[in-house]
């Protein structure tokens, strides 16, 4: 079902439960959290999943879980460290998020933004960001662990299918 389909379910964000210490997927996320902590900015890591598309039976087929929520600013932040040429899928999800949840603020930070933070705050041992090849290996491992759209059959299985 498309977002404009009047028969689709009403979009409702799904709160994510987090037990134990935060497990960041990518070093850039951990580095970004350190900056937020340094400036005493209250944040939550992937606290909400936003359903974006559903199948004919109303099951969620596409969802988006932004990386950070800045509590006092009421804004979500999504980091992307992938090559710019592969960001189309993430931009599409952000567009759908804005269509379906117009009151939700979400900012996408691109690789160059994250790299600039890394340089400014000396966050990465190997330079501004891990090499693109190292990031690509991490991104591919993340994609390989994601369920196919056919496997998404309930809220418990919904994961952010965006490449990080």
First to last CA, the chain: 25
Measure the CA–CA gap between 48 and 97, rounded to whole angstroms: 12
CATH superfamily of 14-157: VSR Endonuclease (3.40.960.10)
Question: What is the pTM (predicted TM-score) of this model?
Answer: 0.68
Task: Quote the mean pLDDT of the chain.
Answer: 75
Backbone φ and ψ for 145, nearest 5 degrees, come out as -85, -10
Give residue 39's pLDDT band: very low, low, confident or very high (50, 70, 90): confident
pLDDT grade, residue 121 (50/70/90)?
low
pLDDT at 130 over 70: no
Domain ranges of the chain: 14-157
- Percentage of the chain lying above the pLDDT 90 cut: 36
For 123, phi and psi rounded to 5 degrees? -90, -20
d(CA 146, CA 148): 6
SS3 70: strand
- Helix, coil or strand: residue 84: helix
């Amino acid at each position: 079902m498309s977002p404009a389909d009047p028969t689709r379910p009403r979009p409702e964000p799904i709160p994510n439960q987090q037990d134990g210490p935060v497990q960041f997927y990518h070093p850039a996320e951990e580095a970004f959290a350190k900056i937020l902590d340094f400036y005493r900015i209250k944040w939550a890591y992937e606290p909400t999943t936003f359903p974006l598309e559903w199948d004919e039976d109303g099951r969620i087929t596409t969802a988006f879980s932004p990386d950070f929520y800045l509590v006092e600013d009421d804004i979500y932040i999504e980091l992307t460290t992938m090559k710019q040429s592969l960001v189309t899928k993430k931009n599409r999800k952000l567009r759908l998020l804005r269509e379906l949840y117009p009151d939700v603020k979400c900012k996408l930070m691109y690789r160059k933004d994250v790299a600039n933070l890394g340089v400014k705050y000396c966050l990465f041992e190997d330079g501004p960001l891990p090499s693109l090849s190292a990031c690509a290996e991490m991104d591919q491992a993340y994609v390989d662990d994601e369920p196919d759209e056919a496997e998404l059959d309930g809220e418990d299985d919904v994961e952010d299918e965006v490449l990080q």
